[in-house]
Structure 1
Amino acid sequence: MAGHSQFKNIMHRKGAQDARRAKQFAKVIREITVAARSGLPDPSSNPRLRAAISAAREVNMPKDTVERAIKKATGAGGGDDYVEIRYEGYGPAGVAVIVEALTDNRNRTASEVRAAFSKYGGSLGEMNSVSFMFNRMGVITYPASVAGEDDMLEAAIEAGADNVVSTDETHEITCEVESFFAVRDVLEPKFGEPLSAKLDWRPENSIELDEDKARTVLKLLDVLEDSDDVQNVYANFDLSEEVAEALSA
């Protein structure tokens, strides 16, 4: 179980689904706001906004909520101004952590992130202090049912992707960040809307954690994820099946 995304499966075993859903909506609305202001309010002419709307669908956000967010972002006054910030540091057991935030108050966000790292035995570092251990890439995921493995590989490579990993459940297409929107826009007419399409940080190497260290790392990541200002959290750890089962019990 790789730590860059699957840790959420363990974190989300705890209840409070309604509260999490509200937080998910708030984070997506922030991304829609920034995306709508970064270009035209028309998704067909604004790739980032199109990606934000796709993220809204992933969390089952109602269409009228999305439309209101776009209208508010591009209307008079435009609501809050958000800036994008990336924090990097080391968590317990030397796990490298990247935190992406959208905030209207840099001091508040920095204080919250620094406090979380300190509380769980980590330390916040400088920009690029850990990101060199990750690869930044576009990741597009389709259900396996949309195409055979060979057909998907051929279509993805022709679209400009670097690789496809197919399983019984999904096709995961990866590409350079610069090619992300172009690859997605070529694949969508052929295979429909993907399950997800996003920019991701993937670790080059991962640290395997025992149960005690994993619990502490997951607590840190959970606290970071719970911040209203934090959009995404990535970390370079692995969990064995035994440890994952113990944490999920």
Structure 2
Amino acid sequence: MAGHSKYKNIMYRKGAQDKKRSSLFSKLSREITVAAKMGLPDPEANARLRAAVIAARAQSMPKDNIQRSIDKASGNDVENYEEIRYEGFGPGGVAIIVEALTDNRNRTATNVRTAFSKNGGNLGTGGSVSHGFERLGLIEYSASAGDDEKVLEAAIEAGADDVQSDEGGHRIWTSVENLHEVAKALEPLLGEGEGAKLAWKPTTEVEVRGDEAAQLMKLIDALEDDDDVQTVWGNYDVPEDELEKLG
């Protein structure tokens, strides 16, 4: 079990997401509806829906909004969303994975390709970068959940595989198969987390500085601004002094 790792890049992204709260609510709502449609509309009996609801609560989405998103799954007018993954390269040779939920594959593909090409990147083919990532389960907790030692002990007891902690919070890694079992085991130990989801963890990181770092963040912002894009993963490491320049 590893106890420490860089968290600053993730927190920079979270800060950017906080500025897009209305867009974020829309994406969380879409994930809730899709999860409810794919399984039972009960978070206790549907692991993906439970994870989506926890993520929504962590972003202070009102209970009524969450319930409406669940109820929408059983309606006749619900859109049919398709899950799509795009892979490409950003400034500095950074590998990027984009996950989307869309009701119009052509629209989303065009928007993602445009975001890459306008911001110093290029869209690759399926599998062009995912070989450099591990598919794992990720459970996130804020720093208020406890100090590094407390979270590490809880993670070991719950059956997690790895922990990364920093001043911004804690990221607890599991196998894909054990994600929701570990998430449930952590709740009586640490409380409800900020989310539990499948993630792409890079096996190596690429340090990016200067103009390339600024352009990379513009690319990620452009991708995250798209309504169809749910998550953006990358193997970048932007040093703290560079992040401060970016504000």
Give the TM-score normalised by structure 1: 0.88
1:5, 1:234 within 8 Å by CA — same for their partners in 2? no
| Cα pair distance change 1:3/1:222, threshold 3 Å | farther
Identity of aligned residues (%): 51
User: C-alpha separation between the residues in 1 aligned to 2:15 and 2:145?
Assistant: 28
SS in 1 for 2:44: helix
User: C-alpha separation between the residues in 2 aligned to 1:122 and 1:146?
Assistant: 37
User: 1:174: which partner in 2?
Assistant: 173
User: C-alpha separation between the residues in 2 aligned to 1:143 and 1:224?
Assistant: 25
2:43 is the alignment partner of 1:43:
yes
Give per-residue Cα distances to partners, 1:25-84, cap 9 Å, x unaligned.
Answer: 110011011100110001110010001101111221100011111111123x15111010
**Deviation, structure 1 residue 100:** 0.4
- Between 1:188-197 and 1:208-217, the stretch displaced more is 188-197
2:7, 2:165 within 8 Å by CA — same for their partners in 1? no
SS in 2 for 1:184: helix
User: C-alpha separation between the residues in 2 aligned to 1:175 and 1:189?
Assistant: 18
Give per-residue Cα distances to partners, 1:154-201, cap 9 Å, x unaligned.
Answer: 442343211233456644321111110110111113332113322222
**Deviation, structure 1 residue 3:** 8.2
1:2, 1:237 within 8 Å by CA — same for their partners in 2? no
User: 2:71: which partner in 1?
Assistant: 71
SS in 2 for 1:71: helix
Aligned match of 1:5 in 1, 5, 10?
A: 10
SS in 1 for 2:84: strand
Write the letter of the residue equivalent to 1:8: R
- Between 1:170-179 and 1:160-169, the stretch displaced more is 160-169
User: C-alpha separation between the residues in 2 aligned to 1:71 and 1:226?
Assistant: 26
- Between 1:45-54 and 1:201-210, the stretch displaced more is 201-210
Matches within 5 A, 1:129-168: 129-143=128-142, 146=145, 149-150=148-149, 152-167=151-166
User: C-alpha separation between the residues in 1 aligned to 2:151 and 2:124?
Assistant: 40
| Cα pair distance change 1:9/1:63, threshold 3 Å | closer
Matches within 5 A, 1:228-247: 228-247=227-246
2:87, 2:125 within 8 Å by CA — same for their partners in 1? yes
Write the letter of the residue equivalent to 1:186: A
Write the letter of the residue equivalent to 2:182: V
User: C-alpha separation between the residues in 2 aligned to 1:4 and 1:127?
Assistant: 25
CA RMSD in angstroms comes to 2.2
1:3, 1:235 within 8 Å by CA — same for their partners in 2? no
2:138, 2:196 within 8 Å by CA — same for their partners in 1? yes
2:8, 2:240 within 8 Å by CA — same for their partners in 1? no
Give structure 1 stretches of 5+ with no counterpart. none
| Cα pair distance change 1:215/1:144, threshold 3 Å | closer
Give structure 2 stretches of 5+ with no counterpart. 1-5
Give the TM-score normalised by structure 2: 0.89
Matches within 5 A, 1:180-195: 180-195=179-194
| Cα pair distance change 1:78/1:190, threshold 3 Å | farther
User: C-alpha separation between the residues in 2 aligned to 1:3 and 1:230?
Assistant: 22
User: C-alpha separation between the residues in 2 aligned to 1:123 and 1:161?
Assistant: 35
